[in-house]
Structure 1
C-alpha cells in the first residue's frame, strides 16, 4: 500500500505507525484511518512484529482528532460511514494479539485522545496535553472514550473529562492513571524502544493470552455500546446545533448553545 497520511515502518520487531499530517496537527480523516488499519493488520499478521507503536509526526501533536472542516460538512450518513471505519481500527487494535503503545509527542485530543485510550500502554512527552472536545463542538466521543475512560480513571474523573472538555498536562494524566509514563521529549522514543525491547523478551503467546483476557470483560459491552453511540451521533450530525459547535471552532469563537436549550 502506498501511504499518504501515515509513515509505516517495521524495525527490530516493532511496527511503527506515524500519523504524518503535521500541517493539521496530525488530524485524522477517513484516509488516515484506512492506512492505520492496514498497517495494524499487517503488523498483526507479521510473526516478526511483537509490538506496535502509534505516534505523530513532529513535536507538537500526537493527533488533534477529527478535521473540523470535514466534520462541519458531514451528513448523518457521512458520520455513520466514518464511525464504522473508526470501529474497524479499534477492533484491529484490540484483537491484534500484540501490545500496542501510544508514544504521545504533543496534543492527544478528541479522536486522537480516543486512539491513545484504545492502545494498551501510553508513554508521553512532558509537554503533551490530553483531553476530549466532544461537547465543546457538539459531538460525542463514542469511539472509545465513553466506553473505556471510566475503566482507566474512575467514573467521576471520566465524567469531568467528558463533560468539561478540559485539557490535562502529562503529569496530571499520569496522576489520574490515564497514561503509564512521562519523559522529556528527547527521551520519548528511546524510552518507547526500551519498553518495546522489554516486551519483545517476553513470551508472545503469553502476551496474546494476557491481552485477550484483559480485554474480555470490557469487550463484552464495548462494541454494542460503541455502535449504538455511533448511531446516535450520526443522527445528531448535520443538525443546526452540531453545525454551531463545529462552525464556532473553525471561526475561533465561543459556541452559543443557549438557543438549543428549549423549554
Structure 2
C-alpha cells in the first residue's frame, strides 16, 4: 500500500478506476515484483508470463532489463549535463525512479512524471510530497502538445535549455502506426539543440507469431486497448533528424550494458528495443 490506496479490495478504489480491467501500469508493477496491483492485473500478467515460457522468454526479466536500461540512460544523461527530464507514461513508482537516479549524479534535477492512470498519480504524488524538484502531472501520451503546454510542466521545465523526454515501454501501446508516428513527431517538435529522446519498444524478431498474437489478445482487454511490436527499421523513423547515440537501436540488454551482452545477429527472440537520440 502507498498513498492510502489499498490494492486488495479492502478499502475504496480511487475514482476513475475499474479494478476488473487490467492496467498495463499495474501489470508492469507485477512483473517487477511490486504489490500495487489488483487480481485482474495479476491474472493478465500471469497469462503473459506463461506465454513467455512457451517461447523461452521471461516477461519479468524483460521488464527488469527495460528498467535497467532506464537507469543507465538517465545516469549517462545526468553525467553529460542534462538536468531536466520528462517521463511520459511513467507508470507506478518503483525502485530506481528517474529522479532518484538523477539525484545521485547532479544537484536538484528537474523531473516531470506524466501518466493518465489515477492510481499512478496518487502514488507518485504521495512519494514526491516532500520533493520540490520533481512533480507528477496528468497527461495522455496521445496528446503530446497538451503535455508540453501544461502550465505545471512549463513552470517546472525550462524549454530553452536541453532536456530529455522518456518514452519508455509506452509507445507500443499505440497500435496504429500513423498515430504512433504523429505522437513522436509532436514530441520531436518541442526538442531544442542538446535535448535527448529516450525510447524503448517491444519487438517480435519475426518469430513466435502464435504466442505474440495471444499476448496481443491479452493486452486488448487491458486499459491500453492493445499492444503491438515494431522492428528496428520502424523505430529508426522515430529518430529522424536526431543523432543516435552508440550502439544505436538494440535490445535494451545490449545498450551500454554493465555486464557484456551479445546481440543476436537476427534479433530472433522477443523483447524490448532501446535507443537514445540527441538533437544537434
Q: TM-score range by the shorter chain?
A: under 0.3
TM-score (normalizing by structure 2): 0.25
TM-score (normalizing by structure 1): 0.26
Higher-helix-fraction structure: 1
